[in-house]
Amino acid sequence: MELLIGDVFRNVARATPDGLAAVLGDRTMTFGDIDRTSNRIARVLQSRGLGRGDRVAVWSATTLDVIPLFAALAKLGVVFAPMNPALSIDEAVETAASARPALLVVDDGRTDAEAVAAKAEAPLVTLASLLAESGGEEDTDVAVDGLSEDDPHVIFFTSGSTGKPKGVVLTHRVNYLRTHPGGIFEPRGPMVCPFPLFHMAGWTIALQQWQARAAVVFVPADPASICDAVERYHATRVYGIPAVWKRVFQYRHTPEGAACDLSSVVAADTGTSATPPELLATLRYVLPQARVRVFYGSTEAGGVAALEHADLERKPGRCGLPSPFVQTRIDDSGELLVRGPIVFDGYFEDDDANAEAFVDGWYRTGDLAEVDDEGYLSIVGRARDVIRTGGETVAPSEVETALAAYPGVGDVAVVGLPDVEWGEIVCAVVVAADAGAPPTLEQLRAHCEGRLASHKHPRRLEVLDAIPRTSPTNQVQRRLLVEMLS
């Protein structure tokens, strides 16, 4: 049996054709809708000469119409390459061209689309016109011989927080295994997804739900939309990065959000970025009926580890035990390496990046990690973000965790800035909880006493209105901060 994503849509449509598959705003799609529409789209794409191994770049905001296109491409063995809809024209050209697409599909009203298509040397079609063209096609299944689970299925472009975007190639096997619910279908209700459909997390959540024959409710990442979706669809599952959960908690203390009913949620997940123990405690308090879990992973590596509900208090600050689908080891420098059947196959046509990313078949995560005597992992920082000051090393995440506990800090990032005497100094970049009373450097240094070794205390403080972060994963854009402050 080949593990093919196209079969996910075929199988669930046969099992529950009228089952609710996806919701966005007032629109819904059933599994039968997706399967039939994807077959029609696949026939149109075949008539345009697209086939196994070709790539289609998709530059669109989140819309349900992307879902049958995604399914159609999977059935044909064509690679789906979604692009961030917020890209500038120059960024879009660079991203699209790097995938060498056979077609560029865009949503309506994207005025720069023709210029991007021309510079990327790709034919252009709007999603609306593609759907209209497919309306007259037969909706019976499209069979393509020779497809393999080792064929590329998607190319996700990294956020670019470290520079030029790279195309992460995931095969059908990788995405099938990353999202399979196991041998037994557990009853599960709708899941609220605040991730967009250009991002791996959005599709991972969707495929997890669809393989389990359940619905996904796509929402913007604002707390009102999340709470409304939970109540309206009696959602049982929500995944949010720590920043999203924090906004939900804050919203519940406003007049508009005070009546928000989250009692249907039985699975509340978080992760991908540092998750303070205080946030997990709040999550368990607000959702006492829910199983809370913390996940650690990446686009390249998939779900590397998970901290289960029962371990939250016993293993604070840890990111859990490794997935059964990965092997992990920590090298002499402290960097976490992983390998296994859910790890990506490499960056698209980027030999230099692949040579840097892999060593003897192990993927270098770039994360500095520790493992305790029971095998639980903790991430202590990014290898490239380590601050070297006065002969000592400092992990920014450790300092950020300490400073985030100070009452006057609303948001915080820590970077190393060049210094003649120290090599680098620890610089705290803070968004004040109260704009009228920002914390002082002296207050923050006093707060660090007894919490951090003295060489980890900030020597410089910058107060900003907002900390630059990537969307939607909320990662600090440290390189940009260093450029701003140096």
Taking phi first (over 0 means left), then psi (-120 to 50 degrees means alpha), and beta for anything else, what does residue 258 get?
alpha
Distance (Å, whole) CA 113 – CA 116: 5
So what's the pLDDT on residue 163?
53
Q: Cis omega before residue 242 (within 30°)?
A: no
Beta bridge partners of 268: 238, 292
Of 177, 196, 230, the residue that ends a domain is 177
Of 177, 211, 238, the residue that ends a domain is 177
Of 162, 177, 192, the residue that ends a domain is 177
Cβ atoms of 293 and 307 within 8 Å: the answer is yes
Could you list the mean pLDDT of each consecutive 10-residue stretch along the chain, which spans 486 residues? 96 97 98 98 98 98 98 99 91 94 96 95 98 95 94 86 77 97 77 96 97 97 97 97 91 94 96 81 96 94 96 92 96 96 97 95 94 94 83 85 94 91 91 94 95 91 93 83 90
So what's the pLDDT on residue 162?
44
Task: Report pTM.
Answer: 0.86
- The torsion of the CA quartet 447, 450, 455, 459, rounded to 10 degrees, works out to 10
So what's the pLDDT on residue 215?
98
SS (H, E, C) the chain: CCCCHHHHHHHHHHHCCCCEEEEECCEEEEHHHHHHHHHHHHHHHHHCCCCCCCEEEEECCCCCCHHHHHHHHHHHCCEEEEECCCCCHHHHHHHHHHHCCCEEEECCCCCCHHHHHHHHCCCEEEHHHHHHHHCCCCCCCCCCCCCCCCCEEEEEECCCCCCCCCEEEEEHHHHHHHHCCCCCCCCCCCEEECCCCCCHHHHHHHHHHHHCCCCEEECCCCHHHHHHHHHHHCCCEEECCHHHHHHHHHHCCCCCCCCCCCCCCCEEEEECCCCCHHHHHHHHHHCCCCEEEEEEEECCCEEEEEECHHHCCCCCCCCEEECCCCEEEECCCCEEEEECCCCCCEECCCHHHHHHHEECCEEEEEEEEEECCCCCEEEEEEHHHCEEECCEEECHHHHHHHHHCCCCEEEEEEEEEEECCCEEEEEEEEEECCCCCCCCHHHHHHHHCCCCCHHHCCCEEEECCCCCECCCCCCECHHHHHHHHC
Record the tokens describing residue 281, joined without a space: 């405690």
Exposed / middle / buried, residue 445 (Cβ in 10 Å: 0-12, 13-18, 19+)? middle
**Residue 472 structural domain:** 386-485
So what's the pLDDT on residue 160?
43
Residue 56 inside a domain? The answer is: yes
Cβ atoms of 78 and 52 within 8 Å: the answer is yes
Q: Which residue has the tokens 């991203």?
A: 95
CATH number of the domain encompassing residue 427: 3.30.300.30
Distance (Å, whole) CA 263 – CA 266: 8
Number of Cβ atoms within 10 Å of the Cβ of 333: 9
Residue 11 inside a domain? The answer is: yes
Residue 410 inside a domain? The answer is: yes
How many domains does the structure of the chain reveal? Answer: 2
Of 82, 51, 52, 53, the closest CA to residue 67 belongs to 82
Residue 297 inside a domain? The answer is: no
Cβ atoms of 179 and 172 within 8 Å: the answer is no
Distance (Å, whole) CA 207 – CA 332: 37
Residue 110 inside a domain? The answer is: yes
Record the tokens describing residue 80, joined without a space: 């789906």
Residue 460 inside a domain? The answer is: yes
User: What distances in angstroms separate CA 417 from CA 191, 329, 430, 445, one per listed residue?
Assistant: 42, 31, 15, 17
Residue 88 inside a domain? The answer is: yes
So what's the pLDDT on residue 159?
53
Residue 343 inside a domain? The answer is: no
CATH number of the domain encompassing residue 106: 3.40.50.12780
pLDDT in tens, 265-312: 999 999 876 688 888 999 999 999 999 999 999 999 999 999 999 999
So what's the pLDDT on residue 184?
65
User: What distances in angstroms separate CA 302 from CA 5, 268, 345, one per listed residue?
Assistant: 16, 19, 12
pLDDT in tens, 305-354: 999 999 999 999 899 999 999 999 999 999 999 999 999 999 999 999 99
